[in-house]
């Protein structure tokens, strides 16, 4: 599935399924991601150290798998957006957005690359295009690009109605750790304050036809939020899956040996 197919599936009310790559860096690791039911992966560069060269090699290898690569950039900045897309990503996840200006910068860079400066600011503010030919060219060039906006704080939630009015947003991301800290109950995902906050984000976003990703690590939590309306399904990480698989198998071997 490519970025354009993902967007079409979500726009039609469907779901797409992905995971986050936090530790995998060697390009051959992408072979493990094929044929297991993934539509996309989010490759983390916010909290995971990756060079531009490593990221380029990883994306080149991933391009042959049929799994759409999305980069979680370090901050909501147009420069990081274009670096990720130039390396071969089919979308970006911009973390911890709180203002309309941040969102416009991210979406403008994702959807209208390589347009820059006043031209892209005018476009995002009023829809003014350089020309119809330029519009057609840029729409085709960026047709696979997915723009995901991170809503991870109380301040972002307070501004969500305005943020959702920005055209070109393809998904809203909820970072549970950051959001739970912001509402005052770190990592307490059963608290009504956290649940109500995420539910509010889902309801407001879906009212505008924008799907939501809630990134949880356990099957119980991921399942719960799918049942609550999260359609852009983002489940667990490569590190956690690897650790849990080894933990299960080694425990079974020790039991068998006993």
For 217-235, what is each residue's pLDDT tens digit?
999 999 999 999 999 999 9
DSSP for 88-135?
Answer: T-SEEEE-S--SHHHHHHHHHHHHHTT--HHHHHHHHHH---S-HHHH
DSSP lists the bridge partners of residue 232 as 16
For 46-90, what is each residue's pLDDT tens digit?
999 999 999 999 999 999 899 999 999 999 999 999 999 999 999
Residue 172 has pLDDT above 90, yes or no: yes
Give the containing element (helix H, strand E) for 184. none
Residues 6+ apart with CB under 8 A from 174: 150, 151, 152, 198, 201, 212, 213, 214, 215
For 114-157, what is each residue's pLDDT tens digit?
999 999 999 999 999 999 999 999 999 999 999 999 999 999 99
Nearest to 238 by CA among 50, 55, 32: 32
Residue 200 has pLDDT above 90, yes or no: yes
Residue 25 has pLDDT above 90, yes or no: no
Nearest to 88 by CA among 162, 9, 30: 30
Q: What span, in angstroms and rounded, lies between the C-alpha atoms of 78 and 159? A: 20
Confidence class for position 26, pLDDT limits 50, 70, 90: confident
Answer for the pair 93, 110: CB distance below 8 angstroms, yes or no.
no
Q: What span, in angstroms and rounded, lies between the C-alpha atoms of 163 and 151? A: 10
For 146-156, what is each residue's pLDDT tens digit?
999 999 999 99
Q: What span, in angstroms and rounded, lies between the C-alpha atoms of 238 and 217? A: 10
Answer for the pair 34, 252: CB distance below 8 angstroms, yes or no.
no
For the chain, give the mean pLDDT.
Answer: 96
Give the containing element (helix H, strand E) for 155. helix 154-158
Confidence class for position 44, pLDDT limits 50, 70, 90: very high
Q: What span, in angstroms and rounded, lies between the C-alpha atoms of 195 and 225? A: 9
Q: Domain residues for 244?
A: 3-257
Q: Is 0.85 topped by the overall pTM?
A: yes
Q: How many structural domains are present in the chain?
A: 1
Q: What CATH number has the domain bearing residue 30?
A: 3.20.20.60
Whole-number percent of the chain with pLDDT over 90? 93
For 178-192, what is each residue's pLDDT tens digit?
999 999 999 999 999
Nearest to 67 by CA among 94, 30, 109: 30
Prior bond of 64 cis (ω within 30°): no
User: What is the number of H-type helices and E-type strands within the chain?
Assistant: 12, 8
Residue 210 has pLDDT above 90, yes or no: yes
Q: What pLDDT, on the 0 to 100 scale, is given for residue 114?
A: 95
Q: What pLDDT, on the 0 to 100 scale, is given for residue 29?
A: 86
């Amino acid at each position: 599935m490519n970025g354009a197919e993902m967007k079409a599936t979500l726009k039609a009310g469907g779901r797409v399924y992905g995971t986050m790559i936090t530790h995998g860096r060697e390009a051959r690791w992408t072979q493990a991601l094929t044929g297991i039911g993934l539509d996309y992966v989010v490759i983390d560069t916010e909290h995971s150290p990756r060079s531009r060269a490593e990221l380029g090699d990883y994306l080149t290898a991933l391009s042959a798998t049929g799994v759409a690569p999305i980069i979680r950039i370090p901050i909501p900045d147009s420069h990081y957006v274009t670096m990720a897309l130039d390396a071969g990503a089919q979308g970006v996840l911009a973390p911890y957005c709180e203002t309309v200006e941040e969102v416009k910068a991210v979406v403008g860079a994702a959807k209208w690359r390589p347009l820059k400066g006043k031209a892209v600011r005018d476009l995002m503010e009023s829809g003014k295009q350089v020309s119809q030919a330029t519009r057609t060219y840029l729409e085709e060039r960026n047709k696979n690009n997915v723009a995901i906006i991170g809503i991870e704080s109380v301040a972002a939630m307070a501004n969500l109605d305005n943020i959702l009015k920005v055209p070109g947003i393809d998904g809203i991301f909820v970072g549970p750790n950051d959001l739970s800290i912001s509402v005052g109950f770190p990592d307490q995902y059963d608290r009504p304050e956290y649940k109500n906050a995420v539910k509010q984000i889902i309801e407001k976003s879906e009212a505008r036809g924008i799907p939501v990703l809630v990134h949880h690590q356990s099957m119980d939590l991921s399942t719960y939020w799918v049942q609550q309306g999260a359609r852009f399904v983002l489940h667990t990480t490569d590190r956690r899956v690897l650790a849990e698989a080894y933990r299960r198998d080694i425990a079974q071997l020790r039991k068998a040996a006993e």
